[in-house]
Structure 1
Amino acid sequence: MASLKKYIDYKLVLLLGGFYALFDLVYIAKVAFMRYHFPRETPESWGTFLIYNILIDWLIVVTYMTLIAISTKRFLYKNYRWEKIILIHTVFSILIGLIIRLIFDLFSILTGQIALADYELEASIFRFMYVIDLNFLIYFAMVFIIYTYYYVKQVKEAEQQRGMLETQLVNTRMKMLSSQLQPHFLFNTLNSIAVLADLDKEKAKDTIADLSDFLREILYSSDENEITLENELRTLEYYLNILNVRFSDHLKIRQEVPKQLLNFRVPALLLQPLIENSIKHGYSYDHTDLEVVIKVLKTNEHLKIIVENNGQSLTKDHKELMENGVGLSNINDRLHNLYGNNYFFEIRNKVPGPGVETVIQIPFR
């Protein structure tokens, strides 16, 4: 049952079945009217009519359209061109009439209603051609229902996803503020500014400006979930300037970002927690000088972001880090909501070492 749900949307099947049932009710009303005003000498019994012309026809059409709904879902995922989709559905609209005619003829032969020797292919083709326009209209009416259903469903899912992302972005900003506004961060930054005020007033002013701009970007920047890599690096620059003052000559941060990739979009406020994590876990008694490198690469249809250091190696695997790190799990949740399963995120030891690298791969946007 679970495997069927993966391919069949039962709500959509009920919708298609209900639509065709409504069509059948109109058809029954028309037949009743015609029989009352224009009775035939040997009319087909109502029982035979309802079983063969309504029930069996309904089952065939709903089953066929369920298969079309499954195919349509694949068309949407594969982003086929609209010309190709129209051509495919036109062929399917003709096939539905042929399939119905074939099943009814075969059923009539098997039940003895028509002898095989008396079967006339020409008469069967005539009956098929007589209703080909009606089959065409019904088919495309039901295809319209299928596309409308999937579109509305995607809109609702997108709205839910957008709400989750907006909530996560706000939480990220608050968590970043919470982590950055810890007493040790403000104390160290303000203490550095106080020292610089006597030694280098201009640098002290620059540090104050960086701190102010960094906090302003977190609090008041756009609520977009994705921004250009150029804007992300601009926000990051304020944070890096503060780190350079705090850690002085013990920290070097290098960027390897090709200019042609600056216009690609990345999740907002992505790099800062990655660098913070790299610095936090990179320093040790054996690694008092740290170098952090930010790399952005283009690989096939994806953007690859790497933040690596030359510090101490990890003693925990990626899964353990995700379970224990709130910031890291938050990043993973945001990536999942933005890109579904079309992304890669892993923290691992560099090979060859020493050092740790965080690798994120996202589709181009």
Structure 2
Amino acid sequence: MGISAIKKYIDLKLIMLLAGFYVLFDIVFIARYAYMRANYPNEVFEPWFDFLVYNILIDFLVVVTYMSLIAISTKRFLHKNYSWVKIIIIHTIFSILIGLIIRLIFDLVGIATGQIPFSEYQVAESLSRFMYVIHLNFLIYFAMVFIIYTYYYVKQVKEAEKQRGMLETQLVNTRMKMLSSQLQPHFLFNTLNSIAVLADLDKEKAKDTIADLSDFLREILYSRNDNEITLEKELRTLEYYLNILNVRFSDHLTIKKDIDQNLLNKKIPALLLQPLIENSIKHGYSYDHTDLHIQISVKERDNYLIIRVANNGKALASKHEELLQNGVGLANINDRLRNLYHDDYFFEISNISENGAGVQTIIKIPLHD
């Protein structure tokens, strides 16, 4: 039988736990025996050697071996989903058997070593000794059974927590990949349209834009399996996108950045800023707002990373909830934030003032490396 097969039936950690418990019991037993010898010198006691060998060592080996077998049986009980009534009855029978087995082994060892002459051996006397300690055997047995069940229960809880954690991680990764696959074609479609327009107007600019698009896509592909990347890498990726925008909108678009340099190594969702800028441009331009100024800021407040993208463009006519329902990019951002941070995030798009122009998008996420 190989090591893996042995581990399937025998849990060494549990056996050590049971042995440790019985060692404590034996220590108390030895202390009691020493106290009795010291305070009652007129009583007849066994020699220390006989006491330690027969009453402690042999008893220890028998009990630990027996309880190891009980641990294996208990594992099978749990797997077969026996009723509690049946389990209690079985363990009650086993608790009686352990006393009988210990008594039988002691008798056999005594006969084999000559301590008990075979001709003088009496079953009734042996049975009386068994009945004298039957309550103690019962209590010790069920104390160790309690340890066994507690051990298996805690182990099952830990395994269940581990599996649930793995499933949650797999679920988050699966959702993030689905959302990324949804977002990237959406961006690509818009950018290719811009390049198609540039190809007729300025071939050199079109080539430069294709180069920026190539670099942008390269950054995306390299981090496609990363749900979060550093702010520094996100800004580097964003720069390629901004180059594309500057070519397309020329002097009618100004983008400024106010980034706390101490936050560059902090993690944010991958490809987060690009759709925010895209949305700001899409809804910001209007007949009355032909020159658009966009401000990107990243700050820290109360151990949260605050991202704000604001423009001076057309005010919103729709509320935040309506925008999420109608916009693929915005709904995508909200879904990704929820997957990564559950309820520990803030995401809102609103007008900067009630009467004037300007729209701001604010995202608040936990700060971590």
TM range (shorter): 0.5 to 0.7
Instruction: Give, in angstroms, the shift of residue 187 of structure 1.
Output: 3.7
Structure 2 SS opposite 1:279: helix
- Letter of the 1:188 partner, please give it: S
Asked whether the equivalents of residues 349 and 362 of structure 2 are also in contact (C-alpha less than 8 Å), the reply is: yes
Task: Provide the rounded CA distance (Å) in 2 between the counterparts of 1:275 and 1:300.
Answer: 25
Question: SS at the partner of 1:252?
Answer: strand
- Give runs of aligned pairs for residues 133-212 of structure 1, distance below 5 A: 138=146, 142=150, 145-146=153-154, 148-182=155-189, 185-192=191-198, 195-197=201-203, 201=204, 205-212=207-214
Partner of 1:223: 225
Structure 1 residues 264 and 141: CA distance shift in structure 2, 3 A: farther
Unaligned runs of 5+ in 2: 1-77, 104-125
Q: Say if 1:173 and 1:219, in contact at 8 Å, map to a contact too.
A: no
The aligned residue for residue 346 of structure 2 is 344
How much has 1:338 moved relative to structure 2?
1.1
Cα displacement string for residues 43-90 of structure 1 (whole angstroms, at most 9, x for unaligned residues): 89xxxx9xxx9xxxxxxxxxxxxxxxxxxxxxxxxxxxxxxxxxxxxx
**1:360 and 2:359 correspond:** no
Aligned to 1:90: none
| CA positional deviation for 1:267 | 0.9
Report the more deviating stretch, 324-333 or 232-241.
Answer: 324-333
Q: State whether structure 2 residue 310 is matched by structure 1 residue 302.
A: no
Q: 2:255 aligns to what SS in structure 1? A: strand
Root mean square deviation, CA, Å: 3.9
Partners of 1:290 and 1:150 in 2: CA distance: 57
Q: Aligned-pair distance for 1:225?
A: 0.7
Unmatched 5+ stretches in structure 1 = 1-14, 54-126
Aligned to 1:250: 252
- Amino acid paired to 1:216: R
Task: Label 1:27 to 1:220 Cα distance change in 2 as closer, same or farther (>3 A).
Answer: same
Give the Å deviation of 1:253: 1.2
| 2:259 partner amino acid | V
Shift of 1:239: 0.8
- Whole-angstrom distance in 1 between the partners of 2:236 and 2:273: 11
Pick closer, same or farther for the CA change 1:293–1:142 going to 2, 3 Å.
farther
In the TM superposition, what are the counterparts of 1:44-59 in structure 2 within 5 Å? none
Alignment-mate amino acid for residue 349 of structure 1: N
1:27 to partner: Cα distance: 5.3
SS of the aligned residue for 1:305 comes to: strand
Q: 2:334 touches 2:347 (CA, 8 Å); kept in 1?
A: yes
Pick aligned residue for 1:267 from 257, 266, 269: 269
TM-score (norm 2): 0.59
Query: Partner of 2:35 in structure 1?
Result: none
For 1:136 and 1:19, the matched residues in 2 are separated by 19
| SS in structure 1 of the partner of residue 363 of structure 2 | strand
Worse-superposed segment, 346-355 or 247-256:
346-355
- 1:219, CA displacement in angstroms? 3.8
Q: Which amino acid aligns with 2:362?
A: V
Shift of 1:275: 1.4
Q: For 1:181, what is the secondary structure of its paired residue?
A: helix
Distance across 2 between alignment mates of 1:284 and 1:211: 26
Count of matched residue positions in the alignment of Structure 1 and Structure 2 = 262
Q: 1:40 to 1:282 in 2, by over 3 A?
A: farther
- TM-score scaled to structure 1, two decimals? 0.60
**Aligned match of 1:34 in 99, 107, 118?**
99
Kept after mapping to 2: 8 A contact 1:173/1:218: no
Query: In the superposition, relative to structure 1, how do residues 193 and 210 fare at CA in structure 2: closer, same or farther (>3 Å)?
Result: farther
CA distance in 1, matches of 2:350, 2:82: 54
Quick check: which has more Rg, 1 or 2? 2
Superposed displacement of residue 307, structure 1: 1.5
CA shift at 1:162, angstroms?
Answer: 3.2
Structure 1 SS opposite 2:306:
strand
- Classify 1:207/1:185 alpha carbon distance in 2 versus 1 (closer, same or farther; 3 Å): closer
* CA distance, structure 2, for counterparts of residue 40 and residue 227 of structure 1: 75
Is the 8 Å Cα contact of residues 193 and 208 (structure 1) preserved in structure 2?
Answer: no
Following the alignment from structure 1 to structure 2, what is the Cα–Cα distance between the partners of residues 189 and 32?
86
After TM superposition, give the deviation of residue 238 of structure 1 in Å: 0.9
Instruction: Answer yes or no: is the 8 Å Cα contact 2:292–2:312 preserved in 1.
Output: yes
Give CA-to-partner distance per residue, 1:168-189, whole Å, 9 cap, x none.
333333333332333x642432
